[in-house]
Every structure is written in C-alpha cells, then in structure tokens.
Structure 1
Amino acid sequence: MDKRLFFFCAGVTSTLIWPWLPARDPWLLPVIIGVVCWRSRPALAGFLLGFVWVLCFSHWHLAWLKTPGMGERSQLITASVVEVQPRLDGASRLIVGLSHLDGQALLPRPRVLLSWYGPEPGLQKGDSFSAITRLYPPHALVNPGSFNSARWLLGQGITARGYITGTLTHRQVAPAGRATLLARFDEATRGLGARPWLRALGFGERGGLSQQDWTMLRALGVSHLFAISGLHIGLVAGLGWLAGRFSGHHWAGVLAALILASGYAWLAGFGVATQRALLMLVLWLGGLWWGRFWSGRRILLLTMTLLLLFNPWLVLNQGFWLSVLAVAALLWLAGGRVRPGLLRLQLGLGMLLLPPVLLWFGGLSWLSVPVNLVLIPLFSLLLIPLLLLACALLLMGPAAAAPVFWLLNALFMPLMTALHGLAEQFSPWTELSAVAQGVIVLGLLLPLFMALPAARWLGLALGWLAVLTLWPGPAWQVRVLDVGQGLSVLVTQGSRALLYDTGNRFPSGFNMADGVILPLLARLGIDELDYLVVSHEDSDHSANRDYLATRVPVRHRWGAWPRGMPCRAGQQRQWGRLRLEMLWPEALTGHRNNDSCVLRISDGRLSVLLTGDIEAKAEQALLVRNAALEAGLLLSPHHGSRSSSSAGLIAAVAPQWVVHTAGFANRWGFPAPAVVARYRRAGAEQLITGEQGMIQLAANGTRWRRVGHGRPGPWYQRLVAWRETGGTPAKPLE
C-alpha cells in the first residue's frame, strides 16, 4: 500500500518539471495500464494514475482561459467573494469564485485574484457581485532568485488575475459563523496593539502584519508560529484529549480531541497546513478508535494522497512541501532508538530542512534554532492556550473575552518589541550566493552520497563540479532584467557590477529592487555596485534608486541623482577592461525622455548601447553629432515605442541583437509593430523581456552569445503560450 501511495504522489509531483502541459487526449491508455498493473507493478500503476489525475485536473480547471478576448478586452463577470485582502495603500485584493463570464456559466468555478484601486469596494466574504474587469492568465517575472507568482497563484488554486474597473451590482450576505466571531474579536481587541498578531494566530488572518513584521519573522525563522499548522492543531487536540480522559472513557478523549481540533481548523479558515495537520490527526485518531496501528509514514503518505486527490496543484505550493518535509523530518528523528529532547529535535529539524529553505528562500537564519527553543514552549504552554480560552469566551460575547485579550496584549507587545529589536540588532538572515548555497547543500548531502553503492564515483563527480564552479566565466556579461514595464540592466565583469536603471515601485509596497534586483545580486554574490546609472526621472526607471543606495554600497552615482554626477555627452570612464562613454544629453532640455542618459559600454571589440527613453528628436541629434553609435547589442529606445527607433538610428547602430524592455501585455502595445518591422528589415534578432524573461548575453570574442533560450521554466510559466499556441514556448521576434 505504501508503495502505491508514494508513487501516486510522485506522479502528481511530476507536474513540477513538465516543460509543457501535455494534451489530455490519450489519457485513457495510461489509466488502463495503471489498472492492469495495480497488483504486478504497484509503483508504475501509482505513478501513471497520479500523472493522469493532475493532467486531467489541470486541463479541466484551465480550459476557461481559452475564452475569446481573455486579456485583450474588458469582460463582465459575476462572482462571489472568497477572501478579502485589505492593503495599507487603500487598494484591496479580492479572491473570488467566478460563476459567469460575459453571461456564460463556468464549471468548475475558477478562482481569480482581483485588485481594486480607488474607493473601498465594500465587498465582504460571501458577497455576490457583478463587475467589469480585465483578466489575465497567471504570469510571473522570470529572473534568477525572483518570486514565482505564477506558481504561487496556481498553488492557491487561482487561475487568473486582473483588476476591477467598476462594480455593477452587489448583493450582501449577512455575517454568520466565523465572520460573526471575527467581528466580536475586532470589538474585543479594539485599541490593542497586538491585535494583528492575535488575529493571525487565532484566525489565520495575517493581512494586518506589516512588511517589517514579515521581515522579522523570516530573519528569526519563526514564521511557522503564525501559520496555523501541526503545532497548533496538535496542541489543541492534546488539550481535548486530556479533557476527555477525565471522564474515564477512551472514546471521550478521542472525540474531544477531534472536536476541538476541527473547531480550531474551522476558526483558522482551513489553510493548507491546517488541512494537512487535521487530516493526519483524523487518521491517527481513527486508528486509535478502531484499535488499529498505522505507522507515521503511512499516515503521512495517506494524508498527502487524500490532499492531492482533492487538489493536485498543492504540489505547486511551497508551504505544502515545507509542512510535509517538516513532518517527515520529525518522524525520522523520533524513530531512532533514543528519544530526542527538545534541543536535539530542533537542531535536527533545522539541519534537515536547511536544503529546501536554502533552495527556496536563498538564505538562512543563524538565530532560528535558539529563538525557536524559547518561543515554541512559550507559545505551546502559555500563549496559544490563553488565546483559545479567549476565542471560546467570544461565544459568550466580546465583553467576556476582553480581559483575556488584554492579558495577551500585555504579553505579546513586549515580546514582539524584543523580537523586532533582536532582528534589527543582529540581522540574522543571511542571503547566500548560488555557489554558496550549492556548497552547503552538497556538504549536507555528502554523508548520504557516501552511503550509496556507487560512492567510489563520488570523487570524480565532485571534481567535475569543482571544475565547473571554478572555471572562469565570460569576460563580461549583460543581463536585461524582467521588471515588467520598466528598465533595469546589470552589466558585470567578474564580481564587479554596473546597474543601469532600477525598475518601478508600486503603492502596494511591491518594488523591483526587493522583487528582482537584490535577489539577483545576492545570487551572483555581488555586494557592491561600482556604478548606479539612472537614465532619467520617470518612475519605471528611477523609483528604486534611493532605496537601493541604502541596501547596497554604491561607489559612483551617475545620472538623475539629487547629489550625483549628471550625464553629459563626452564623459568617459575606464571601468576595468571596459570603456564607459556617455553619448547624451549635451544639455538638459526639460523633456524627460529626450534627456535620458545614453551610455555605450565597450571592450574595444564588443559594445552595448543603453538608450533610456530617448525619442526621434534626440536620436536625430545623436546622428548629427556623429557619435560613435555602433553596437552589437542595443536596448531599443523607450521600450520599443513608435516614437523612437528611427531608421537612421538603426542604420547607425547596426545591432546584431535588440532587446525590447516591454512588460507582458502592457497597455501601450510595446514594442510597436512598426518598430519591430524596422529592426527585422535591418536583420537584427529581437527579444522582449515580457515574453522571454531576463535576457542574458555574454561576450564571446567579437559576437554576443545568448545564455539560455526562450522563456525558461516549466509549463505553469508558459500559460499564455499554452492558451494561444498549445503550449509551445515563445520564440524570438524575427
């Protein structure tokens, strides 16, 4: 049984590495093979059934994305609100279930993430409404180290995102059940500074935590304490078990544990980690009830199988895997001959979970173990029991629970202040380069490798890896980052770096510095910028300049800086083996776009021309100046706007490669078809960051060599291509 369960989960998990979403037409054959081989080949049978299940599920839930007009025009939706996520900037995010799209009923009802800017929409969970929206398939910025929003959305069961332009009808639903308790909680905790923490810990509602709070939790490695999971469900079940045992009946303890744990899971909104913990508890309690014993391994495998039968896209959810791996690690540590103490258990858990934490989050917290040794007992023995008591008293009314919440506030506020101070004082979160991550993970896995039968070949493999790591790379490289509708270019020679423009930042708090630039610098092991050049003041080019200067030392500030060296034609700098030549502007004209800094970087054989947002007038002035414009790599001016890239400029530059820094499905239609046609006639190979992701080119003698091809990654990063062409990756413009 265990083998079938394991390979069913493996078959579902294989979707993580599918390069495209296969057609579901021939699904019947693997099902027949799986059924026939159920007894003789349990591993093959389980894998094939898992593979077919996630394939059919994906096609069933994504088919609605092929509706004509998706992403191209506004559409009328009818939906019900699943979740409201208020934002500090006045906007709201809604997770809704669509029942109709342009009057056509949808089945199954897809989940969609909608943004709302402007006045508060007044929508609450359970409300029904109709609205005018623009919807898009999940799409992620593709850069090394960047957060994969497409995978995250599908892992939450969300198959599209968009924004509301106006609400037509709205039908409110009277609050009941959990919503009533939440309203009572808000009344009982009015004015308490710890309300966001108590709301997160008691109800799983974490929208009130600030970015600084999340940074602190990650830095100290204690985010799991506010993600209601096995620790919380197990504690509640234990309290119920003890209460039920006072009756003297075995079944009373089982029943009380099940009721209390289910009630807490309901209160917390049945999150992924909560579902997993509750399901494992139900299976274990069911075994006790019927007098049967199942190993922890079987319970974990059966839990995973049931969850993936309900929603196979859970394998795209990192929280699901962290939860599963944590339980597996605990089972392994507890299965030894010596029962581990809390210190050994925490150390062992930290070591076993270090590889996935490194690979997923790009760093580690060296304070995680000691802080958890203090906080886990504190939460388990004091804070969570008090919070459960307060939530139970809410059934009697806010006044009954208020004194307990006041006590919790008196405990939480000094604790959170101390944790924030600890994180700020010691900065325990350490970002690691890709090489450092690989060395640490390899060191942790080395004992396991040495135990393999073919360990004698391990030395040869490690030697080969060392050669690949130490082999000198290209003399210099250009990375045009995928920052949506904006611009940011990283030029490197070894560990030295120049950054041209910084991308945008948004009222929601999301910015391209934290989302793209800083993770990439950390991954490359770059901790200083020799030059930070800001082409002009437009926010999609300059919005993160000051913030970046506080996060990374900058030796030279050039361009649109309040206190930096302004760009002037004729400036030259020698930067290592590269020559930096500022070609424009001659003097500021007051026209932002045409005052952009035009920078040419060359090693004497190869060059790149960075043009900012200059338009035809500035291009003509450059031609009149007889500036040295020839470059094998050109960033098309103004993201490929039709107001730029004149035929004269293209002829003077004569590029082999042209990169259009245009966001996916941008509203301006960049790059303009006429501009694309001009470069095509000139014989240049064209690439678009919004379609291809980050574009990396390396110096290779007298020609540029592209590193990587097409939009990288598995099928869920290519849903636009799947919708339009059946899943083939985007190709360069010809």
Structure 2
Amino acid sequence: MDRANRSAPAPMGLACVAALLAGMVATLWSSALPAQVLLWALLVLGLAAWRVPSRARWIGAGLAGVTWAGLHATWSLGAQLPVAWEGREVTVTGRVVGLPEPQARRTRFLFRVDDEGRQPAPLQGRLLRLAWYDEFGATEPGPRTQLGAGERWRLRVRVRAPRGLANPGGVDTERYAAAQRISAMGYVRDAAVAERLSPAAGIDGWRSRMSARIADQVPDRHARFVQALALGDTRGLDDRDWQVLRATGLTHLIAISGFHVGMVAGACALAAAGLWWLGPALARHVPRPQAAGAAALVSALGYAAVAGFALPTVRTVLMIAVVVLARLARRHIRLVDTLALAMLAVLLFDPLSLLAAGFWLSFGGVAWLAWCLPSSLHWAKAFLPAQGVATVGLLPFTAVLFGQASLAGPLANLLAIPWWSLVVVPLSLVGTGLEALLPGTGSWAWRAASGCFAPSWQLFERVAQHPYALWWLPESPAWALWLALAGGFWLLLPRGVPGKSLALLLWLPLLWPDRERPREGEVELVVIDVGQGLSALVRTANHALLFDAGPAVEEGFDAGERAVVPALRALGVPRLHALVVSHGDNDHAGGVEAVRASLPVRTVLAPPGSPVDTHAACIAGASWHWDGVRFRFLHPGLHFPYLGNEASCVLKVETPHGGLLLPGDIGAVIERGLVHHDADALRADVVVLPHHGSAGSSDPAFVAATSPRLVLNASGAGNRFGHPRADVVARWRRRGAEVLDTQFGGALRVWLGANGLQVRERRHDQARWWDAVRRQQAGGLSYRLEEGRPDAPED
C-alpha cells in the first residue's frame, strides 16, 4: 500500500492537471450536456477518486474535469435569455463594464444589470452585450457619446438571446457569449429615457480617464498604440491596424501581454531587492527575497488589473504567485510545475476559458518553452531558440483558431519583442505612473513612447504589404490539429532523434487539407450565412463564382468582410473567376466592395442599369462552360429596364447530374414570365428561394416548373419581414422539396455530382452545446412559421 501511495501522481501535479484539462476539453467540445443531477453525482465521485492516493488518481481528476466544465456550461446556458423573452423591450439599471467601443453610428458596450428585485427576472445580475445607435437621420452623435466606463445607467433596451452567423472561418458568437457569460444581446431602444445614475467608478473608470489623457497629450497618430500598450485599450485601432498586426504576427504584443506583465514584475522585484541592498536594516523586518517576491506579485496584479484581467495576464500573475509562495516556503519549484498550478487555478475558477483562443496561445506557448528550453540557458542565448520553438509550437493553434499563419512573424518578432517590450512599454508605463501620481507630468514619457514606436510601425506596415507576409489556410478537420501538434513535438525533440523530416508529413492535413472540391462535371453550392441577405458560392473543379455578397450597414457590420471573405478563405477559394451581383439592393450588394478588396475578381456582372460597378451585364441567353458545367442567365432580357428586385439576374447552372437555379429577388410577375417563356429551362434539383421566401414570390406555376428536390433559403434569425413565409414554405414542400434555411442551419453546402445530391448544414455538422438555445429558438420559430405571421411587413 505504501509503495502504491509513493507511486501515485501528485494531486496537483502535471499528470492530474493534464487529465483535468482533457476531461474539460471533452465536455466543452461535445454537442450536448448531461443532466445537471448526473453531473453533480459524477463530480462527487471524481473528487473522491482524485483525493485517494493511487496510481489511478488521474482518472478521478479527469472525471472531475468532465463534470466541473459541464456544470459551468449548464449554468452559462441557464443564464441566457429565455425564448419567451425574445424581442421584448425592458427597462434596466446597471453598470457599464469594461471600456465602451464608440463607432461611427453606434457605441457597443457590456452592461451588468443590478441584482435586485425591480429588474426583469431573467436579467437580474446578468451581463448584457448592448449597442446604442444614433437616431435615424441624425447629423450629430446622440447621447451615446456620454456613456463612460464604470458608470451606472437606467436604459430602455430591446433584448434577444445571443446569436450570430455560422460559417466556415467565421466568428462563433454563441461560443463567445457562453464563455463570457453574456445572457442577452440587444440595443438601446429609447435614448430619451436613458439616464445616468452615478459617475464612473472602479478600475474601468480610471482606465477610461487615463486613456483620454493619452489621446489629449500625445498629438501624433500613434497615440492609439500607447493606449494599447499602457492600458490594454485597443479601441483606437482600426481594421487596417489589425491587418498589419496579423500579417506580421504581432497581435500578442500590441495589448498588455503576459510577457509585459512578467517584465514589469521582474523590474519591480529588482527594484525592491536594490532598495533592500541600499538599506540592509530593512531585512531585519522582512527578508529581501520575500520583499522582492511581494513587489513582483503586487506589481503584476496591478498591471493585470490595468489590462482588465485579460487571460494572458491572469496566467502570468498566477505563475508569479506560485513562484512567490514557493520562495516563501523555501521550496524549489520547476517551471513546468509552476505552469501546471497556474493552469489548475484558471481551470477550476473558470473552465469556460478553454473556449477562448487566449488560453491555448498563452499556456501553449509557455508549455512549449518549458519543455524545449533548458532552465540553465541564459535569456540572451535563449531568445532565438525561443522564437523557433514558439513558431513551430504555436503554428497549429493559430492555423486552427484564426485560419492563417504569418510567414513574416518570426522575423518581425525578433525586432518587435526587444524594442517594444524594453523601450516602448517602459516609457508608456512611466508616463502612466507619473500621470497617476502627479497629473500633467506623464506626457513627455507618452510622447517619447510614441516617437520610439513610430519607426518600427512604419517598417511593419511595409512588411505587411508583401503578398506572402500572411498565409490564409483552408479550414481543416479537428483531428488535423492533434497530428500537427505531434509533428511539432517530433520536430522539437533533441537533435539525435532520427526521422525528423517525416514529422513534416503530419502537418499536411492541417496546412493542405482536402478542400472537397467537385470533380469534372460536378458542382458545389454554398449558401453563406449573412443574416438577412444573400451570398452564394458556386464552385466547379477549377473555377469559383460568387452570387451576391450580403448586406453592409453604416453601423459597422459588413457581411462581405465579416462573413463572405472568411468563408471563402476557409473553403480554400483564393480568387473569384466571376462575381454576379443579382441587383443593387444593399442586402445583396452591400458586401461587394469588401470582397473585391480582399480577393482577386476576374469579372463582375450585374443587370444593366444597376448602380454596381461592373465589367459586364448579365443578359438572358448569355452562357459559358467551366469544367464540364454550363452556366447561363435566364433573366433579365436585353432591353429589360432596371427595376430593382424584378431586374435580378437569374442564373441556371447545369451539370450531367442535375441543375441549380439562383433567381435573386424576382417576384411572382417575373416568375410567371419565365414559366411562360421557357418552363423547361427552370427545372432544377436545387433552388435558392426567390426573395428570401417573401409573400410576393414563389408563384405556384414557378414552383411547379422548377420541381426541386432541395430548396435553400437565406434569411436572418427573427427578421422583421417574417421571411420565409409559412405559406411559401408549405408550397414548396407540397411539391416534395426539402426546405433548409440559414437562420437555423447556418451555412448550407450542397454537392451535385456522381454520388448524387449531398447536403451539409453548418450548425448540424458541427453541433456544440452552446447551440442549444438556437435549437430551442428554431423549434419555436418553426412553430410560428406554421401558424403564419401576417402582421410582419414586407421589405
């Protein structure tokens, strides 16, 4: 028994922490969650097995990880807005959390509702993600500009459950909301009744005031980077800035990072040790090592607070705390044990942090360095090897999490890490410290930081313009990540290990995944989830055509940039051979410019007279062949006037295995005209629903002429138009067609080829537990569709 106890892994050792992590990953990436009663019972069993000293102790830790993560996930979902409250207007009071994000026509912010009985019951104490828009037609920003961090407000808001788009390469809004415990999303409904109840308070209010001082006292255009490096305030960075940072692999440095926190802690520890060296009498009260450790921990904690306790900073603070406690206990502790204890603390406190990219990049990077670099290696000699280890070790994570790899990153980091971390960041912090103690004395340091930052940024902007600076990677299967990590492990083994060149083969499924392109004579159709709008990719063996590009609105959402371009890159589409803009309405043409700016487009086609800048017009009778597939336009005719929806391009795609029909937003009048002119040309196996399923489309004669097996619709969840109409959906179903919609299924992929008609729904194919609310909403909305929604207006 004693021998078994001695061989048992330590309860907080690496083996048990790894098992805990694996159990949590297995739960958080599952499609459903067990019942809460079962989770509690298994948690008790797992904790008991974890406590008993045996060789199988790690099994108990793994079971505890499964159940503890499951309980947190259940609580997060349980806190989300019930379906019955969808779209309600409520009055709430609470506090602004974090720093509001002002934009051209709106301000986005987090809002913590007060936890008291006068608040709406489902929202008491909950965190909301809100937007405050300017009044329609207003020429000047409204009262939203008065919104400040840490302030208490009374607001009238319209709320809905968290939801977003579901596309290859897209941001998963539901996952983000579940991880951040966001209960509802919405917008301020009536600005006239908005009332500030109390001024800014807390660390967020201080950060906001200090950020404003930097903007006032640093006149040049690089003040936004000083704000980011000193306070973690990245609100001033625009899309162009983030593109440069991604292309150069420097996103981890531009805000307060774990490395910066460690650097500040080390500097404060050295300062405390120097003070004790100058005053030896101080050691009579507090030994010098303890004083240095306390200074490191306090400074790290304060700097992390300034950053809003971002995950990389929390990880560094925890690691510093572990080292300080070990020093106080006069015990030696290895770096890997420090990392394991810090990870244990994060996982026990917030298992849902596993859903954030920061967890994997932060802990993964340190883990690779701890395993590969000997602790005895001097930091100056370790700098270059550390860059190589980080590049190889973190590439699989960046490829999976962001779908990209910065080829310029390793070289850019060689310059940015020492220059920004040892020059720009200290100057930024000196300015912040002086300004906090004596207002008006920190501007010189902030300006010096901006001046030192400027030359390096100009260099990185030029580097980012190189066509090979950033490599966009197609979406790969989940198992490719683990193969690539195994390949990285193999590559980073000691030099004498044979066969390292073979390890590169394990990277192939990640870097060059199967793009599932159709073969000769086959076609693929992808209806991208763009909300209330349309964008569809038609792909043959060697060509790609995009039909529409989704909506774009002044408030900052551009489906071309946020949904279409990421989806095309994730699907492995490097260029478009044709872009067809069915007509000039915003919900179809809004994202065109973003697509054209991001990808090479050979030809742009639109109906004659449309406001879209085109190379050619789509005219009935025009046709061409790609890879054994015929494309031809059925509408509009040569002299047909531009009438908006009714002038939409109607594209027919024909293969030896069947046809596709994309009719844009044509209405019943045009549909009947097409049936009268050539009903046989309308026959198709797959049809994109005309005009999103509005009441003025899908004429019975048109439905009969097409007689599809599958109908795909693009509409926004809970859209105000009531699309698709229940009677329209029923009309297609009576003809034997299956009807799928992006608002419930996400992006819809269809293959038409030798293997027949195959379809895949994004939300069904990659179902996760955080989609449970969306599935519940889908059930409710489907029921309402069957009942009909006659009160919803048409667009």
TM-score under structure 1 normalisation? 0.91
Counterpart of 1:377 (choices 414, 418, 440) is 418
Aligned to 1:258: 297
2:708 pairs with one of 629, 632, 655: 655
After TM superposition, give the deviation of residue 161 of structure 1 in Å: 1.6
One-letter identity of the residue aligned with 2:304: A
Change (3 A) 1:31 1:438: closer
Taking the aligned partners of 1:35 and 1:442, their CA distance within structure 2 comes to: 32
Q: Aligned to 1:209, what secondary structure does the other structure show?
A: coil
1:244 aligns with 2:272: yes
Task: Report the Cα distance in structure 1 between the residues aligned to 2:246 and 2:372, rounded to whole angstroms.
Answer: 24
Shift in CA distance, 692/440, structure 1 to aligned 2, threshold 3 Å:
closer
Is residue 335 of structure 2 the alignment partner of residue 335 of structure 1? no
- CA separation of 1:527 and 1:650: change in aligned 2, threshold 3 A: same
The C-alpha deviation readout for 1:246-281, integer Å capped at 9, x for no partner, is 213222212222222222222222222111111111
Which residues in structure 2 correspond to 1:490-529 (within 5 Å)?
A: 490-529=537-576
Counterpart-to-counterpart distance in 1, 2:402 and 2:507 = 27
Name 1:155's counterpart in structure 2: 179
Distance in structure 2 (CA, Å) of the matches to 1:726 and 1:629: 32
Could you tell me whether the CA contact under 8 Å between 1:568 and 1:583 is conserved in 2?
Answer: yes
Aligned to 1:139: 163
Q: Which amino acid aligns with 1:63?
A: G
Residue aligning to 1:593: 645
Which residue matches 2:773?
Answer: 720
Counterpart of 2:18, as a letter, is F
Q: Which residue of 2 aligns with 1:165?
A: 189
Superposition deviation, residue 723 in structure 1: 4.2
For residue 359 of structure 1, report the CA deviation from its aligned partner.
Answer: 1.4
Q: State the shift of 1:473 in Å.
A: 4.5
Query: Which of 526, 543, 554 is equivalent to 1:479?
Result: 526
Please state if 1:566 is matched with 2:566. Answer: no
Q: Deviations over 1:54-92 (max 9, x none)?
A: 222222233243535332433333332112432331310
Q: Which moved more, 1:528-537 or 1:289-298?
A: 289-298
Aligned residue in 2 for 1:673:
726
1:349-364 equivalent positions in 2, closer than 5 A: 349-364=390-405
**Given the alignment, which residue of 355, 369, 391 partners 1:316?**
355
1:433 maps to 2:481? no
Question: TM-score, with normalisation over the residues of structure 2?
Answer: 0.85
Tell me the distance in 1 between the aligned counterparts of 2:344 and 2:479: 31
- How far apart are the structure 1 equivalents of 2:245 and 2:507? 38
Cα distance in 2 for residues equivalent to 1:499 and 1:441: 33
| Match of residue 790 from structure 2 | none
The change in CA–CA distance for 1:196 and 1:506 in structure 2 (over 3 A counts) is same
Q: Could you tell me which residue of structure 2 aligns to residue 174 of structure 1? A: 199
What is the aligned counterpart of 1:621 among 641, 657, 673? 673
1:417 — aligned with what? 458
State the Cα distance separating 1:593 from its structure 2 match.
0.8
CA offsets 1:300-343 (integer angstroms, 9 cap, x no match): 22212222222221111111211110111121123377665211
Per the TM alignment, residue 344 of structure 1 is displaced from its structure 2 partner at its CA by 1.2
The alpha-carbon distance between structure 1 residues 438 and 34, as it changes in their structure 2 partners (threshold 3 A), is: closer
CA contact (8 A) 1:477 1:697 kept: yes
CA distance in 2, matches of 1:689, 1:182: 39
Deviation at 1:517, TM superposition (A): 2.6
- Between the aligned partners of 1:22 and 1:365, the Cα distance in structure 2 is 40
Pick aligned residue for 2:246 from 209, 213, 218: 218
Cα distance 1:301–1:444, how it changes in 2: closer, same or farther (>3 A)?
closer
1: CA distance, partners of 2:641 / 2:558: 29
Contact 1:251 1:289 in 2 (8 A): yes
Residue 257 of structure 2 aligns with an amino acid whose one-letter code is: S
Q: Secondary structure at the match of 1:516?
A: helix
* C-alpha distance in 2 between matches for 1:447 and 1:718: 33
Q: Amino acid of the residue matched to residue 37 of structure 1?
A: A
Q: Are 1:78 and 1:130, in contact at CA under 8 Å, matched by a contact in 2? A: yes
Aligned-residue offset at 1:48: 1.9
Tell me which of 232, 238, 255 is aligned to 1:227: 255
Change (3 A) 1:393 1:448: closer
* Change in CA separation of 1:176 and 1:75 when aligned onto 2, cut-off 3 Å: closer
Q: Secondary structure at the match of 1:631?
A: coil
Residue 104 of structure 1: aligned partner: 120
Q: Shift in Å at residue 145 of structure 1? A: 1.6
* Aligned residues of 2:515 and 2:572 also touching (Cα < 8 A): no
Match of 1:10 among 1, 22, 42: 22
Provide, for residues 604-644 of structure 1, a one-character-per-residue CA deviation record: whole Å limited to 9, x for no partner. Answer: 44111101011111112212223421111111100111111
In structure 2, the CA distance between the partners of 1:188 and 1:217, relative to structure 1 (3 Å rule), is closer
Q: Which of 103, 127, 148 matches 1:88?
A: 103
CA distance in 1, matches of 2:702, 2:772: 36
Rate the CA distance shift 1:97–1:651 in 2: closer, same or farther, 3 A.
Answer: same
RMSD: 3.3
In the TM superposition, what is the alpha-carbon distance from 1:102 to its structure 2 partner? 8.1
Q: Is the 8 A contact 1:92 1:120 kept in 2?
A: no
Distance in 1 (CA, whole Å) between partners of 2:159 and 2:305 is 31
Query: Which of residues 14, 34, 46 in structure 2 aligns to 1:22?
Result: 34
Q: Which residue of 2 aligns with 1:297?
A: 336
Provide the rounded CA distance (Å) in 2 between the counterparts of 1:675 and 1:412.
Answer: 59
Gap change, CA 1:159 and 1:106, over 3 Å in 2: closer
Instruction: Output aligned runs, 1:532-543, within 5 Å.
Output: 532-543=579-590
Task: State the one-letter code of the partner of 1:231.
Answer: F
How many percent of aligned residue pairs carry the same amino acid? 30
Could you tell me how far apart the structure 1 residues matched to 2:686 and 2:636 are? Answer: 20
Look up the SS of the partner of 2:616 in the other structure. Answer: coil
Corresponding letter in the other structure for 2:149:
K
Aligned to 2:80: 65
Matched letter for residue 575 of structure 1 = W
Q: Structure 2 CA distance, aligned partners of 1:465 and 1:375?
A: 31
Alpha-carbon displacement from aligned partner over 1:25-62 (angstroms, at most 9, x marks no partner): 32232123224423143222112222222222222233
Equivalents in 1 of 2:547, 2:230: separation in Å? 46
**Secondary structure of residue in 1 paired with 2:35:** coil
- 1:198 to 1:172, Cα distance in 2 relative to 1, 3 A: farther
The 10-residue stretch of structure 1 (656-665 or 86-95) with the greater mean CA deviation from structure 2: 86-95
Structure 1 pair 704/619, CA: closer, same or farther in 2 (3 Å)? same
SS at match of 2:765: coil
SS of 1:588 mapped into structure 2:
coil
Change in 2 beyond 3 A, CA 1:470/1:262: closer
Q: Which residue of 2 aligns with 1:698?
A: 751
**Structure 1 pair 487–264 and aligned structure 2 pair: CA distance change class (3 A):** same
* Mapped partners of 1:557, 1:660: distance in 2: 23
